[in-house]
Amino acid sequence: KNEVEQSPQNLTAQEGEFITINCSYSVGISALHWLQQHPGGGIVSLFMLSSGKKKHGRLIATINIQEKHSSLHITASHPRDSAVYICAVGSGNTPLVFGKGTRLSVIA
């Protein structure tokens, strides 16, 4: 079974700071997902990556398949970015394995 580790567990940043959240996994995968979970439970899919880099607005996700590592970056962070960010990995049709999440608080 794949083991997914995220770091840091908790992160507090000042508005405007550049933020990086890391995800490592133990077994080769076909896809890695970054998800955002707001208080109350709703989960939104941010990115699905199998290689390289993707950008959407102020969010950038990168993956290094050889090193089994991915990063999620947030540029010019804003209080509305405060949420739990979850990394999940999958291979073929197997159900995703989730990390425990990184709780981000951005202070104005």
Q: Where on the chain is the footprint of other proteins (CB under 8 A)?
A: 4, 31, 33, 35, 40-45, 48, 86, 88, 90, 95-101
Report the nearest approach of other proteins to the CB of residue 99 (Å): 5
Nearest in space to 103 (alpha carbons), one of 88, 76, 84, 77? 84
> Given the complex with other proteins, which of 35 and 63 has the nearer CB atom?
35
> Given the complex with other proteins, which of 19 and 32 has the nearer CB atom?
32
Report the nearest approach of other proteins to the CB of residue 90 (Å): 7
In angstroms, rounded to a whole number, what is the distance separating the alpha carbons of residues 12 and 104? Answer: 6
Report the nearest approach of other proteins to the CB of residue 42 (Å): 5
> Given the complex with other proteins, which of 4 and 72 has the nearer CB atom?
4
> Given the complex with other proteins, which of 57 and 95 has the nearer CB atom?
95
Any bridge partners for residue 102, and if so which? 85
Q: What is the CA radius of gyration of the chain?
A: 13
Report the nearest approach of other proteins to the CB of residue 68 (Å): 17
DSSP for 13-69, written as a single string: EETT--EEEEEEESS--SEEEEEEE-TTS-EEEEEEESSEEEEETTEEEEEETTTTE
